[in-house]
Amino acid sequence: METFFEALEQLYKKVLLGATLENDSHDYIFYLYPAFSDQDCSTTTSSDCSNAPDVQDKQEPSSVSLPTFSVAPMCLQRHSQMSSTREIMLLQLTVIKVMITRILSVETEFHAKEKYRDIIKILLKSSDIESQLTCMFQNSEKLLSHMAAKCLALILYFQLKEKITLSNSWISFCQKNISEYSESNKVVYCLWILTFVIKEIFKDTSSQKTEILKQFLTPFDTLFEAFYKSLLSQHFENHQDASKLINSLICFLELLELLIASRIYLKLHYTCQRILFLKPSCVFDVITWPIQAFVKRKLIIFIKKCLLCKVGEDLCRGSVPTFMPPDNPLDVDLLALASAVLQAVDLGLLRTLSVRGKCSCFGGGEVLAGYEHDAGPDHVILRALSLLIIRSLEIKFQNCSSANEMKVDYQRFMSELLTFLKPHLQPSLQSHNLCEWLSRVFIEQDDDMLEAAKALLGIYLKLTRECEATESLTQEKEMWNHHTHENGYNPHCIFLFLLKNIGFDSTVLLDFLISSETCFLEYFVRYLKLLQKDWDNFLTICNYFDVTESKDNIHICCISSLVQGRNSNSAEASPLAVVGSHTDAHSWVSWASAASSEPLNHGVTLEKAHTKLQANCLSTPGASQSLVDYDSSDDSEEGSTSLCLVNSRLTSSHQEAMKKTQDTFGASGDKKELSPESQSRPLVTEESNTLFSVYCGIAPNNTASEVGISYRTVKCFEELQGAIYRLQKKNLFPYNPTALLKLLKHIETIYNKSMTPS
């Protein structure tokens, strides 16, 4: 036995290196046929292994240049030999697996590849090895079962590539076990093998992958629908060992994703590819099962991928066209799935679904007693559910023509979603602008955030078109704008919150444009086209953002100044100092709020505000010094850096507050929007601005528009335009950006015209 193992080990080393084998192909079959013991087949029925050939009488090859022994180790009885038999079987399966992998690899030398191909074909003809491998699925040795399944999957894929007819024994075995759900391990292995083979077909770079997959799926087409109904109709509570049910569910979901992906990317049309869309309610029933959170998460993400047509994107990314051709049957199925999602929400899905997260533990999965703490919500589920509902609404509205019906439906479902999200968002959403919800929920997942933004933009454009068609938009424009803000889908607010989150950094937008992992290009182009037509509304919303930031910055500036003033008199700020600062700040916020609605005359009021803010700044002599004595130069450098940041933030906050407030006050009493004159003239006099700069350590800035949201947005576009142009000039941009550059240039032109005094 040791001699046989050594010979097999040498064969393994040669194949692993891709070396050419010198001997006749038949000589190697002796070493590759799996050495079964009686125990391996003891748990299977006689019919499963009835086709196993008796190879005990086969003669050992005499010409092979490997160590040999006189008796093959088949059906060993003694306990002392069982361990050696297991090692031999594992090594035999490994050699077969590596040999097939070498055949499929483009890096293997031609003569070596032909020799390996010949050996595997002889092995398949001389024995029903598929039956022997399926016998091992019930083996108590998990590693052996897994290796048998992996080896069988590669053999099946090899047969498909070589146009060899699949074994009837394998097809019968699979059909028998997938006809309905059972708790047998055979079901899981069948599903895993089917999934593995389909994945390998997707990875294939040849043009024949569609035909190969068609040949593979044909025997199982009708079986999957029966298994789908049988599996998802199980009563979870009645299962003593729920782990087998969960394993089968997860394996089947992965298989189902690949089947749907093959429909989208390979244009195949089988019944098994539509089972989710024909019976979507079954999946939502599973979400209500008392199962682990990760299973529910997987289900929700799976449905999200289906609605976004992103199933199988990891396997197909290299060959998927940017824009898929229209597929009417698929559109019908997506509408059915979207309707099922909205129906589930109507029936209380969000009210019954728990999204509590679990603490991440280093070195384990449980928290010790006494160390528990609130892990917060599962943000993955929050994002997936949010995108699921938005995308479902978009799909439904694409097939709806009644503006009133769409507005009512959107308001109902969005109210349900925001009610669901608000308890999980900290700090809580501000009621004055609910459009911030999207950037708050999706802040950690930019691809989903852009998908959600694109879907909301699509809903907005659809509603706008329908309202314009009925001539109700112009008559009720104020009410329409209020509706978009109240329900969190105003496209300008959403885009501005996105820009604020990335700090108006054009390089981030450039990354989005170049990346193939987000839909930013499509979203950005659609938004820029809207922005050209809706510029006045955009400026109004920018003005609103400026006023809101002005209030917040005055609040922060006053609090910081007062706290610093307290710190100059005492080593540690008392709680009363903070309370006092809040009280004083509140009066300034009230002043800003009142001023924004008054007609202005109002150099005096502005000068008083400037004087008071300036006094606060001048009354903090400690502001220019470190608050703590450091022991080292490293510490002092860190402290001075922090202080510098604080000072710059305070001063810039003051400048922004003063300029934006002046911007607001510059409007006439009967006009709510800014005039070009007020935007173009300085907000404060050069002397006062310089005085403030001297004491607070910052250079003066006299241009009002340089701190406005609209200016920062257009400035970001201008920088983006320049970066794209430079890359295009060097042929480094991945696609033709001419149309995009025209849009960006047009926005810049519109902005300059709106800022030019008439």
Both tokens of 642, joined, read 């922090």
Both tokens of 207, joined, read 């043009």
Residue pLDDT, tens place only, 493-536: 999 999 999 999 999 999 999 998 889 999 999 999 999 999 99
- Residue 684 exposed, middle or buried by CB count within 10 Å (0-12, 13-18, 19+): buried
pLDDT at position 25 is 85
Both tokens of 338, joined, read 């979207």
Phi, psi for residue 558 in degrees, rounded to 5: -65, -45
CA nearest to 646, candidates 698, 723, 699, 712: 698
> In degrees to the nearest 10, what's the CA dihedral of 371, 376, 381, 387?
-160
What gap in Å lies between CA 136 and CA 40, rounded to an integer? 6
> Which residues of the chain fall below pLDDT 50?
37-59, 62-80, 318-320, 555-706
- Could you tell me how far CA 663 lies from the centroid of its own chain? 40
HSE on the CB side for 133, CA within 13 Å? 31
Q: How is residue 324 annotated by DSSP? A: P
Whose structure tokens read 């001063």?
A: 651
Q: Which residues contact 603 (CB under 8 A, 6 or more apart)?
A: none
Q: Which residues contact 309 (CB under 8 A, 6 or more apart)?
A: 264, 324, 330, 334
3-state SS string for 478-518: HHHHHHHHHCCCCHHHHHHHHHHHCCCCHHHHHHHHHCCCC
Three-state DSSP at 180 gives coil
Whose structure tokens read 């910081």?
A: 560
What gap in Å lies between CA 12 and CA 21, rounded to an integer? 11
Q: How is residue 356 annotated by DSSP? A: B
In our burial notation (b when 16+ CB lie closer than 10 A, e otherwise), range 445-463 reads bbbbbbbbbbbbbbbbebb
pLDDT at position 368 is 59
pTM: 0.74
- Residue 78 exposed, middle or buried by CB count within 10 Å (0-12, 13-18, 19+): exposed
How many residues would you count in the chain?
Answer: 758
Both tokens of 39, joined, read 């125990």
How many CB atoms within 10 Å of residue 20? 14
Contact 151, 97 (CB under 8 A): yes
Phi, psi for residue 356 in degrees, rounded to 5: -70, 130
How many CB atoms within 10 Å of residue 157? 23
3-state SS string for 224-240: HHHHHHHHHCCCHHHCC
Beta strands in 39-158 (DSSP E): none
Contact 663, 539 (CB under 8 A): no
Phi, psi for residue 377 in degrees, rounded to 5: -75, 160
CA nearest to 626, candidates 607, 641, 648, 606: 641
Contact 240, 265 (CB under 8 A): no
Residue 356 bridge partners (DSSP): 377
Which amino acid appears at position 192 of this protein?
W
Is there a cis peptide before residue 427, judged by omega within 30 degrees of 0? yes
What gap in Å lies between CA 715 and CA 401, rounded to an integer? 39
Contact 754, 676 (CB under 8 A): yes
Over its C-alpha atoms, the chain yields an Rg (Å, rounded) of 35
What gap in Å lies between CA 318 and CA 309, rounded to an integer? 16
- Could you tell me how far CA 693 lies from the centroid of its own chain? 46
Contact 223, 178 (CB under 8 A): yes
If phi > 0 it is left, if psi is from -120 to 50 it is alpha, else beta; for residue 309 that is left
Contact 84, 90 (CB under 8 A): no
